[in-house]
Copies of this chain bind each other. A is one copy, B any other.
Amino acid sequence: MNRKPLPRATELAHELIRQRVESGDTVADLTVGNGHDTLFLSKLVGEDGEVVGFDIQQAAIDATAHRLGNAGNVKLHLACHSRFSEFVSTPVKAVMANLGYLPSADKAIITRGESSVTAIGAAAELLTPGGLITIVVYTGHEGGKEEAETVEEFTSTLDQSKFSVIRYGFTNQANHPPYLIAVEKKLEKR
């Protein structure tokens, strides 16, 4: 029997991505940060797949490149994820994002609601049917709540005939744990 406790937002994001992504897929990491999700995606899509990664901080790009080692299936861009559509034009199976700041770096450099929404909107357009965007939302830092509201407002108005949007999070914890928003493109009716 599975004795795993209720998953954290990051764990559920990984589980949902793992269920959908397979070898050869194209996927994206909107906020590579320290590269944990980028590496996770790189392994899932394998040599024949591709991961497109974004971050506005050179330190994040460097840390991610270091973590990836010689993985040849990742393209890292030192660019705001709001420029998603400049760098990605093919359908994507999955897109991951962590909204907030880069751990261990300058906490004044944070993701912002408008640029996040631009990125998520562009990613949603390119999502393959059955594909998924996972957004782990941190609200404990300054500006975090405003960004969360902007992202929730945007995602909760996505056309329900085309997308399913879920929100998952703990409700009885005092320390602002991150929560998950996931956007799934529905399969076409047959």
Contact = CB atoms under 8 A, between A and B. Distances in A.
A6 B184 CA distance: 7
A124 B157 CA distance: 36
B184 A155 contact: no
Contact of A173 (B155, B160, B181): B160
Given A3-B130, A130-B3, A171 B152 contact: yes
Contacts of A172: 155-160, 163-165
A26 to B, nearest CB: 15
A10 B37 CA distance: 29
A156 B163 CA distance: 29
A89 B66 CA distance: 56
A187 interface: yes
B174 A170 contact: no
Contacts of A22: 1
Nearest to A15: B2
A4 interface: yes
Contacts of A168: 166-168
Interface of A: 1-6, 16, 19-20, 22, 130, 132, 152, 155-160, 163-174, 181-182, 184, 186-187
